Amino acid sequence: MSRLVMKFGGTSVADLERIRRVGRLVAEEVATGKQVCVVVSAMSGKTNELVAWTDQAGAAAQGLAASDDEYDVVVASGEQVTAGLLAMVLRNMGIDARSFAGWQVPIIGDDSHGKARIVDIPPANLDAALEAGQVAVIAGFQGVTEGGRIVTLGRGGSDTSAVAIAAAIGGQCDIYTDVDGVYTTDPRIEEKARKLSRVSYEEMLEMASQGAKVLQTRSVELAMAHRVPVRVLSSFIEPDAPEDVRAANGTLVCDEEEIMEKRIVSGVAYSRDEAKISLFGLPDHPGVSSKIFGPLADAGLNVDMIVQSHARTEGAANMEFTVGKRDAARAQQIMQGLKAEIGFEDIAVDDNVAKVSVIGVGMRSHAGVAKAMFSALAEKGVNIQVISTSEIKISVLIDSAYTELAVRALHAAFELDTL
Ligand code: ASP
Ligand code: MG
């Protein structure tokens, strides 16, 4: 019997009316004879409210906030409410359903509070519920450590819960959200953005990590590693909508081989969550980079783009790198503390920057993508501060005031509106 995990994000369960609509979508799948697990987020806005409470309770003041084990106890609670409510709604519709908190599944996580990784999901309890014909409604975002403490999986973590459960029970994963799929770029910036009917795991991973908010990055990593077929689709299309409207709903995230029509560039992503740190007047000798990036890594800070250049003066260099906006102050503090040891002259932090990326598996076999990208930006007068590339992606750091302009220019340059 085929198995399906359906995941519903915060806007899809924002109130009881929407939870009933979710109930109808679940009932439809149950009626086709599938064994169904449902993973739910907290009602939209709930997690932010809970996070604010933990700040007020003093965790932030102690510098603990998201790494405190009690933070997880508080912020995990939103998902438990929606799991219970959806199970009740399903029962009222005559469907046998029960809720599962993370610890009841169990979803076992490591003990990095606030951003735990899933270590294991023993499937026995879910198997038993499914074989007994029950719908298992599971609280997303949360798990339990080996030591029995509640952990959460990082913001947006319900996507990861859903994909991990699909991998554990052997099924497909449908991620229901408030948009009908993955777009060539953010439709709020470029109205000509087109929905992709399919996107490869690799491209989706780059899109998510380069700023597209539709799926949590870790969920894509997991889907790719376990080859879980993932569909992203809208929960706002009613089960009784016309057949063609329903058929057009969704993007399938799948293996590259399953995509017939390959394009050089599939999407343009952007992120304003960046800050650039520049170190001037560094000594130019072996070991300097490790003195800079070692301590940042030890502090758990993620460095993204890096450029080093030679300064005019003999034996001196400059280094620029980017971190998440939230980490900029920390990174600056760490660098200041090591000023003498590293031996730089000056430091500057700029958080008026944005990263814009073009992504596509077709780049592997096509030269000239960088050239097309840089000339499209030059034509619009957009100055490039830092460049980084991978096999299937080119990213540039620019002044954040030009974000929309750059996204639109690139979307047009790679003819994504005519997909
Ligand atoms: N409720 C959590 C959050 O807002 C997890 C999720 O929705 O995926 O981050
Ligand atoms: Mg989400």
Give the domain-ending residue among 228, 256, 284.
Answer: 256
Q: Residue 7, exposed/middle/buried by CB under 10 A (0-12, 13-18, 19+)? A: buried
Examine the domain organization and report whether 249 and 276 are in the same domain: no
Q: Residue 153 CA: which ligand 1 atom is closest?
A: 5
Instruction: List the shell of residues around ion ligand 2, using CB closer than 5 Å.
Output: 9, 156
Rounded to two decimals, what is the model's pTM?
A: 0.91
What are the residues whose beta carbons fall under 8 Å from the beta carbon of 319, sequence distance 6 or more? 278, 279, 282, 288, 289, 292, 306, 307, 308, 344
Chosen domain end from 256, 291, 306: 256
Peptide bond into 106 cis (omega under 30): yes
* Same domain, residue pair 396 and 324: yes
Last residue of a domain, one of 256, 283, 316: 256
Tens-level pLDDT at each residue, the chain (419 residues): 899 999 999 999 999 999 999 999 999 999 999 999 999 999 999 999 999 998 888 755 554 556 689 999 999 999 999 999 999 999 999 999 999 999 999 999 999 999 999 999 999 999 999 999 999 999 999 999 999 999 999 999 999 999 999 999 999 999 999 999 999 999 999 999 999 999 999 999 999 999 888 999 999 999 999 999 999 999 998 778 898 988 899 999 999 999 887 789 999 999 999 999 999 999 988 899 999 999 999 988 999 999 998 877 777 899 999 999 989 999 999 999 999 999 999 999 999 999 999 999 999 988 899 999 999 999 999 999 999 999 999 999 999 999 999 999 999 999 999 86
Does residue 212 form part of some domain? Answer: yes
Task: Assess whether the C-beta atom of 41 lies below 6 angstroms from ligand 1.
Answer: yes
Q: Looking at the structure, tell me whether residues 324 and 241 fall in a common domain.
A: no
Å from CA of 159 to ligand 2 middle:
6
Identify whether residues 117 and 176 lie together within a single domain.
Answer: yes
Same domain for 297 and 200: no
Do residue 226 and residue 354 come from a single domain?
no
For the chain, what is the domain count? 2
**Ligand index nearest the alpha carbon of residue 232:** 2
Q: Do residues 377 and 311 share a domain?
A: yes
Q: Is the CB of 141 under 6 A from ligand 1?
A: yes
Query: Do both 19 and 165 map to the same domain?
Result: yes
Ligand 1 proximity of 163 Cβ (cutoff 6 Å): no
What CATH number does the domain containing 123 carry? 3.40.1160.10
Residue 38 CA to ligand 1 center (angstroms) comes to 15
The finding on whether 157 has its CB within 6 A of some atom of ligand 1 is yes
Say how many Å lie between the CA of residue 316 and the centre of ligand 1: 46
CA of 338 to the centre of ligand 1 (A): 36
* Domain extent for 101: 3-256
Q: How far is the CA of 10 from the centre of ligand 2 (A)?
A: 7
Q: Is residue 262 part of a domain?
A: no
Q: What is the CATH number of the domain that holds 306?
A: 3.30.2130.10
Among the atoms of ligand 1, which is closest to the Cα of residue 155?
Answer: 9
Spatial distance between the Cα atoms of 292 and 322, rounded to a whole number of angstroms:
13
